[in-house]
Amino acid sequence: MTINVLFVCYGNICRSPLAEFVFKDMVEKKGLQRKIYVESAGTSGDHLGDPVDRRSAAVLAKHGISCAGKKSRQILKSDFEEFDYILGMDEMNMEELYYMCPNPGNCIVRPLMDYAGGGYVEDPYFTLNFDKAYEDIFAGCKGLMADIEKRLVR
């Protein structure tokens, strides 16, 4: 059994790639690469094919994590069939995800921060606080990992 996880933000250049690569790092450190598959996407096509924002890449690098080769992609309706977890970063992302979801209940569609006490990850593209976005995302990913590990034990 593989659990497929998709992180989503607006453009797939700042927050969702941060989450993708933070979570991939956690998965690797726990040796769960064969059990958990991770990707990220954006609700918008504004940055389609663009690399990760250099400031997000720098924050990841500061923590010893590479995002080399990642290109932005837009979420597809088929993602709701292929992924077990689809995790949005803010209220606008969640509204778009709920609107797009063809079959509610087929997968878990929630804000990432539900796994860290609630709230949303502010967009560092506008706040310029990439370290805060990393900290919030790390906390959300840690809680998500705990939830997924419970599912894997069953």
Tell me whether strands 85-88 and 36-42 are parallel, antiparallel or unpaired. Answer: unpaired
15 is catalytic: yes
Catalytic residue among 15, 73, 79, 141: 15
Catalytic residue among 9, 14, 107, 141: 9
Helix (H, G, I), strand (E, B) or coil at 108: strand
Going by C-alpha positions, the residue among 107, 101, 109, 115 that lies closest to residue 150 is 115
Q: Report the chain's C-alpha Rg in angstroms.
A: 14
Catalytic residue among 25, 53, 123, 136: 123
Q: Rounded to the nearest 5°, which phi and psi values hold at 122?
A: -65, 145
The residues carrying an active-site annotation are 9, 15, 123
